[in-house]
């Protein structure tokens, strides 16, 4: 098993893996069967040759040859190269032997099959000798080898072709499913639609995944709905709370202690109220409430509420520096773009220091809010999480940056954080 540099197993495609084992198996079988085939063919050839020899002899015996005279035998031997009638050599039964003999025609030693058989001519015992050259065998071996080579080539080509083409077709639904799972995101309202397949395993794979996704999406949805419903249901008790505190504040002759508490309660309700509104906003963004898009001038959004934010910055005596020379226009939902800009403003004010500074810059594709604040960088890993607060005593509810991030995700804008020259930078990059 091969291991990559990073310690992970190197991955092979399933198709290549099955093809490779097929190929190895086919080559091994072919290599092993080639000699076996050779020996079997040779044995069969020898067997056939021997049968022919016996057949010739029987033909000789059955024919008129048993009436041969001495001179006939001499003549026979003279004109037959391969058959010889010799005086009895003492063989009692047919016997065939393989021997290498000198062949004058080719001038070298060649393999022969030789039959020795007892025959009776004119009641006199003789030995019948017939020999057959096995020289065609060599040519046959070459033919067999050629044939095997052809078979190997055709077979391998076939295996490769089948696995590349036909197997690729078979595995297509699998890769299709895989791609769709990779593209699936639970927070987007798009469930994957698997292509129907006639392969049982893939069909059941698709069904299982569909079921899994369906179940998880339902759980995710109910979770999301829970947040929205909870925030919604809280509105009524909050309204009750608020009106009651408003009424209580009208009471005559309240002691100072009671007034302090009622005043504090008023602030608490405001905070609770804003927290709840932000939760509602987050779940509304999740539920695709803000889909309608149109061109939005970011610069206009920054300038729209600048007076409000200057006022909010007054207690800290913040100075605002706007570097809005570049007109930045993006196509998005105007309400959400405004929420984004406002939250960036709010974040820069909330985490600022006394006599601090806020610098807002636009470029062709970015808007940057830089602000003074704590003299060390924030933990950017946790920064954009819901309810993550660097300063626990801060008035913020910890949702501002989560909302910024959510709006960024929805629009595929990149939201990044940087800390340099004692300034905290929040940069929105538009594609």
Partner 1 sequence: MKVLIIEDEPAISKSIKEYFKPYGIQCENAASKREALDKIGMYEYDCILLDLMLPDGDGFDILKELKRLNKTDGVIIISAKETLETRIEGFNLGADDYLTKPFHLSELLVRMQALIRRKNFNGSNIITFNEISVDLLGKNVTVNDIKLDITKKEIDLLLYLIGNQNKVLSKSAIAEYLSGDMADMLDNHDFVYAHIKNLKKKLTTSGAGDYIKTVYGLGYKWQDE
Report the interface residues with partner 1, using CB under 8 A.
232, 235-236, 238-244, 246-247, 249-250, 254, 256, 259-260, 262-263, 266-267, 269-270, 273-274, 277-278, 280, 284, 289, 305, 308, 311-312, 314-315, 335, 342-343, 345-346, 349-350, 395-396
**Distance of closest approach, residue 255 Cβ to partner 1, in angstroms:** 10
Q: Indicate the burial class of 39 (C-beta count within 10 angstroms; 0-12, 13-18, 19 or more).
A: exposed
Nearer to partner 1, 253 or 381 (CB): 253
- Least gap, CB of 358 to partner 1 (angstroms): 13
Contact 424, 352 (CB under 8 A): no
* Closer CB to partner 1, 119 or 399, in the complex: 399
**Which has the closest alpha carbon to 302: 284, 281, 328, 277?**
328
* Smaller CB separation from partner 1, 148 or 241: 241
Give which of 223, 200, 228, 166 is closest to 15, Cα–Cα. 166
Smallest separation (angstroms) from partner 1 to the CB of 421: 25
Q: What six digits make up the tokens of 139? A: 């040519």
- DSSP character at residue 109: E
Which C-beta is closer to partner 1: that of 177 or that of 283? 283
Residues 6+ away with beta carbon under 8 Å from 132: 49, 52, 53, 82, 112, 113
Closest CA to 402 of 416, 420, 383, 417: 383
- Nearest-approach distance from CB 286 to partner 1, in angstroms: 14
Rounded least distance, CB 18 to partner 1, Å: 55
- Min CB(221)–partner 1 separation in Å: 18
In the bound complex, what is the minimum distance in angstroms from residue 244's beta carbon to partner 1? 6
As to burial, measured by CB atoms within 10 angstroms (0-12 exposed, 13-18 middle, 19+ buried), residue 413 is: buried
- Least distance from partner 1 to the Cβ atom of residue 403, Å: 11
CA atoms of 426 and 288, how far apart (whole Å): 25
- In degrees and rounded to multiples of 5, residue 72 shows phi and psi of -60, -45
Between 350 and 406, CB nearer to partner 1: 350
Q: What are phi and psi for residue 332, nearest 5 degrees?
A: -165, -175
Minimal distance in Å, beta carbon 290 to partner 1? Answer: 9
Phi-psi region of 104 (alpha: psi -120 to 50; beta: other; left: phi over 0): alpha
Instruction: Report, in Å, the least distance between residue 341 CB and partner 1.
Output: 10
- N-to-C CA span, the chain: 43
Which CB atom, from 242 or from 429, has the smaller least distance to partner 1? Answer: 242
Are 65 and 121 a contacting pair, CB within 8 Å? yes
Phi, psi dihedrals of residue 427, rounded to the nearest 5°: -115, 125
Nearer to partner 1, 120 or 267 (CB): 267
Report the DSSP beta bridge partners of residue 231.
none
φ and ψ at residue 109, rounded to 5 degrees? -75, 140
Edge-to-edge strand list for the sheet holding 366-371: 319-323, 357-362, 366-371, 423-429, 414-420
Q: Of 30 and 335, which CB lies nearer to partner 1 in the complex structure? A: 335
In the complex, minimum distance from the CB of residue 249 to partner 1, in angstroms, rounded to a whole number = 5
Give the residue with the Cβ less far from partner 1, 170 or 346.
346
In this complex, which beta carbon is closest to partner 1, that of residue 213 or of residue 245? 245
The answer to whether the Cα torsion of 166, 167, 172, 173 is positive or negative is positive
Q: Which is nearer to partner 1, 125 or 389 (CB)?
A: 389
Q: What is the DSSP letter of 166?
A: I
């Amino acid at each position: 098993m091969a291991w990559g540099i990073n310690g992970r197993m190197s991955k092979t495609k399933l198709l290549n893996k099955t093809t490779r084992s097929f190929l190895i198996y086919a080559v091994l079988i072919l290599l092993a069967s080639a000699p076996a085939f050779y020996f079997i063919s040779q044995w069969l050839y020898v067997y056939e040759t021997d049968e022919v020899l016996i057949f010739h002899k029987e033909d000789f015996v059955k024919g008129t040859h048993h009436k041969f005279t001495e001179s006939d035998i001499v003549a026979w031997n003279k004109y037959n190269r391969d058959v010889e009638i010799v005086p009895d050599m003492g063989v009692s039964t047919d016997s065939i032997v393989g021997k290498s003999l000198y062949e004058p025609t080719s001038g070298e030693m060649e393999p022969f099959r030789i039959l020795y058989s007892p025959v009776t001519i004119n009641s006199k015992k003789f030995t019948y000798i017939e020999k057959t050259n096995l020289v065609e065998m060599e040519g046959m071996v070459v033919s067999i080898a050629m044939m095997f080579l052809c078979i190997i080539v055709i077979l391998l080509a076939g295996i490769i072709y089948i696995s590349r083409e036909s197997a690729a077709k078979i595995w297509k639904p699998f890769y299709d499913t895989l791609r769709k799972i990779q593209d699936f995101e639970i927070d987007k309202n798009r469930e994957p639609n698997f292509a129907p397949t006639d392969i049982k395993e893939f069909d059941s794979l698709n069904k299982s995944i569909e079921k899994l996704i369906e179940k998880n999406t339902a759980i995710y949805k109910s979770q999301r709905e829970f947040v929205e419903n909870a925030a919604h249901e809280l509105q009524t008790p909050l309204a009750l709370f608020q009106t009651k505190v408003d009424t209580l504040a009208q009471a005559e002759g309240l002691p100072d202690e009671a007034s302090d508490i009622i005043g504090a309660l008023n602030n608490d309700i405001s905070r609770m109220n804003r927290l709840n509104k932000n939760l509602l906003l987050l779940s509304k963004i999740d539920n695709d409430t803000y889909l309608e898009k149109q061109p939005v001038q970011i610069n206009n959004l920054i300038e729209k509420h600048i007076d409000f934010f200057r006022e909010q910055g007054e207690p800290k005596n913040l100075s605002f520096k706007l570097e809005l020379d570049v007109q930045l226009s993006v196509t998005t939902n105007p309400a959400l773009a405004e929420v984004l800009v406002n939250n960036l403003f709010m974040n820069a004010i909330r985490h600022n220091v006394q006599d601090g500074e806020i610098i807002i810059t636009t470029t062709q594709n970015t808007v940057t809010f830089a602000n003074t604040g704590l003299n060390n960088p924030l933990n950017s890993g946790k920064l954009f999480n819901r309810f993550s607060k660097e300063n626990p005593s801060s008035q913020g509810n910890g949702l501002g940056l989560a909302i910024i991030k959510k709006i960024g995700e929805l629009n595929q804008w990149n939201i990044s954080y940087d800390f340099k020259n004692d300034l905290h930078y929040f940069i929105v990059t538009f594609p």
